[in-house]
Structure 1
Amino acid sequence: MPRVVLADDHAFFREMLARSLCEEGIDVVAEAGDVPSLYEAVARHNPDVAVIDVRMPPGGTIDGLVAAVELRARRPHLATLVLSAHKETAHLSALLDGGRARSVGYLLKDRVSKVEEFAAAIRDVAAGKYVVDRDVVSAMVAARRSRITHLTPREVEVLALMAEGLSNAAIGERLHLQRGVEAHIRNIFIKLDLPEAPNYNRRVQAVLQYLQSPPR
């Protein structure tokens, strides 16, 4: 029986979901209404799975998603299932591609209409599986394609040379840049939505996005 910490800022929804999951054989060991309480509950109870709403206090934007990324970095064995009412794509690469595409899930709330299916998703991520809503995957692909188009011509040149495996020094030499390669790469990371995360290489992720959706 998976031991779960359930984090959602809507108390009524959280309590109803906790009760329903318990009826399906899921052990909800703690509930949290904000990110600090989530961190405290995970530290105290050491659950198998953290179920986290994307939009959580204190910020109320994507604090829950950022917390999920942080928890996966701190606790490699913690399975994480994120819930959202929207197809959020910011920071998803760090959550889903963070060097360990297992024991993680991302589901839209309107798809979780049957509690038995949701309980099955919790068991799947607890067992090391990868459970992601197909609409979220489509949104990620579309977002990645659009982000590549936001790069300047010079940034595209730098990224293309990164894809060839060149070092920063070699890129500077090839493009006759005495300085500024690092600044271009920082801008590429920002525009491709690749935040710093300990479990994945941003340079590799940027190259993968380029190879999957090269600019026309």
Structure 2
Amino acid sequence: MVADDSLLFREGLARLLTERGFQVTGQAGDAGWLATLVRQDPPDVVVVDVRMPPTYTAEGLSVARELRGAYPGLGVLILSQYVETHYAGQLFQEAGAGGGGAGYLLKDRVNRLDDLENAVRNVGAGGLVLDPSVVDRLLRRRRTRNPLDELTDRERRVLGLMAEGRTNAAIARTMSVTVKTVEAHVRNIFDRLHLAHTEDDNRRVLAVLAYLQR
């Protein structure tokens, strides 16, 4: 489902997603109507703007969090012009706890349709996708305790790319190293952040959440 107060943007986005093989089951121009549509026929993913009627503050993010509470497996992809770090941080923390995917992309920085398609599919599969600008803003928030102090510079670089939703293969290409090297870094990150393997926890998601913590 797609929610945006701009009719032209909403219709255009729905058409692009349809052409990419997605089934767009509903469109909403405000947060209230989105909530109604989701309750009538819960989708796999909602793509929603941050600022929507009536106050144009953070209605989109607020309703997305409420819907995640009612439908824990629901994937939420924020597609907006604005970065709301407080709400975004809460959304990603809930994603790690509830199992559903979450993403935050800035409209002006989506330059390839493949990136948008991959983001929707990643979120639908329970992953995290963040625009680098969102990562940067979240990292500027002060922390009382930094869980990343034990990481090396290379491990921090790998974790930052993980936060952008990149696979190990994509990270390897970006850093000009082998996939095995990246896998070794990822294992070290899990060990240093004390993320033990369990069947219930997605350590990749938990590592990214640690990266974005206050």
TM-score by length of structure 2 reads: 0.63
Which of 18, 33, 47 matches 1:37?
Answer: 33
Q: Deviations over 1:82-129 (max 9, x none)?
A: 112022213222101123475111111112222232111101111111
Moved over 4 A (4+): none
Task: Please state if 1:121 is matched with 2:115.
Answer: no
Task: Please state if 1:18 is matched with 2:39.
Answer: no
The 2-side partners of 1:41 and 1:144 are apart by 38
Which of 135, 139, 142 matches 2:140?
Answer: 142
5 Å-filtered alignment, 1:66-105, equals 66-98=62-94, 99-100=97-98, 102-105=100-103
Provide the alpha-carbon RMSD of the alignment.
Answer: 2.0
Q: Deviations over 1:17-64 (max 9, x none)?
A: 111111110111100000110001111121000111001112211110
Identity, in percent, stands at 44
Which of 105, 108, 118 matches 2:106?
Answer: 108
**Contact persistence 2:72–2:100 (CA under 8 A):** no
Which blocks of at least 5 consecutive residues in structure 1 are unaligned?
149-207
5 Å-filtered alignment, 1:174-213, equals none
TM-score by length of structure 1 reads: 0.63
The 2-side partners of 1:123 and 1:61 are apart by 27
Q: Which residue identity is paired with 2:35?
A: Y
The 2-side partners of 1:100 and 1:77 are apart by 7
Segment of structure 1 superposing worse, 48-57 or 88-97 = 88-97
Aligned positions, number? 146
The 1-side partners of 2:55 and 2:88 are apart by 18
Deviation of 1:143 (Å): 2.6
Task: Please state if 1:56 is matched with 2:19.
Answer: no
Does the residue aligned with 1:113 lie in a helix, a strand or coil? coil
Segment of structure 1 superposing worse, 68-77 or 9-18 = 68-77
- Bigger radius of gyration: 1
Which blocks of at least 5 consecutive residues in structure 2 are unaligned?
145-208
Q: Which residue identity is paired with 1:23?
A: E
The 2-side partners of 1:67 and 1:97 are apart by 16
Does the residue aligned with 2:117 lie in a helix, a strand or coil? helix
Deviation of 1:144 (Å): 3.4
